[in-house]
Amino acid sequence: MDERHHESLVKGIAKEQNELLEKSEQGIFIYLDDTHKVCNEKFAAMLGYSSAKEWAETDAPLADVVEEDQDALVAAYENTMAKLVASSLAVSVRNVKTKRRIKMQLVLVPIAYAGHLFAIEFFNKV
């Protein structure tokens, strides 16, 4: 697929889900692939990023903050996208600035937009 097409898709879904991203009390990100993703400011702040834009520019959206739970997270994502079912799991993340560990509950849900499947992920501190 064309890089510009994926960028357009992410901008479109972010615009469509703007109210959710801005007003939710949860940290949220919407994921097409490692390059094409968007999060809300709450999610970026939870992980120690200065902005949602800074987080979106990372190469691997959770690889830098999820360590021991990486395999479980990948399995949950693959299950969610293959079966189009929601998944929930506990993960431990590391704040990129303070290096402090944070326990979170993650809910992963498939969502369709413009003929493409995205994953939308909701994070709550436990």
pLDDT digits (tens, 9 = 90+) for 8-32: 999 999 999 999 999 999 999 999 9
Give the pLDDT band of residue 59 (cuts 50, 70, 90): confident
> Which pair of structure tokens corresponds to residue 94?
């590391």
What DSSP element (H or E) covers 71?
Answer: helix 70-83
Q: Domain containing 46 — which CATH number?
A: 3.30.450.20
Domain count, the chain: 1
Average pLDDT over residues 39-59: 95
The pTM score is 0.91
By residue count, the chain amounts to 126
Chain center to CA of 111: 12
Whether the per-residue pLDDT at 115 is higher than 60: the answer is: yes
Give the pLDDT band of residue 3 (cuts 50, 70, 90): confident
Residue 13: give the domain boundaries: 3-125
